[in-house]
Amino acid sequence: MKSVITLSVLAAALALSVPAAHAGNAAAGKKKAVSCFACHGADGNAVDQQYPRLAGQYENYIVQALKEYKSGQRDNAIMKGFAGQLSQQDMEDIATYYATLDGGKLHTLKNYIQGDSN
């Protein structure tokens, strides 16, 4: 009985350690995100600091943000216009596209958190 419990715990731990599959399709997302490129960049690394860099961002964060723009919970007329035209699948595809890009240019929180010494 003890080995069955140990095996169950091991299986559960393994299942939790495997990354979740992407909800959307990155290739479809790239096509759907063309209108996003002007501000956020085709590679998701916006040059202008007023626009968020989306490369490497969490999919669920992008989907949630798009839903909030669409509903008006986030107040941005430009994003509301774009997000208002997206279906759930469109949002998932776009989020997957940006999530799979290299986010190496994203800023870290180093020196922004109280107590950082460097």
What is the model's pLDDT at position 12?
53
Round to whole Å and give the CA distance between 118 and 80.
Answer: 39
To the question of pTM greater than 0.85 for the whole model, the response is no
Domain ranges of the chain: 24-99
CATH topology (fold) of 24-99: Cytochrome Bc1 Complex; Chain D, domain 2 (1.10.760)
What is the model's pLDDT at position 14?
46
- Please write the tens of the pLDDT for every residue from 1-11: 555 455 455 45
Round to whole Å and give the CA distance between 42 and 16.
Answer: 32
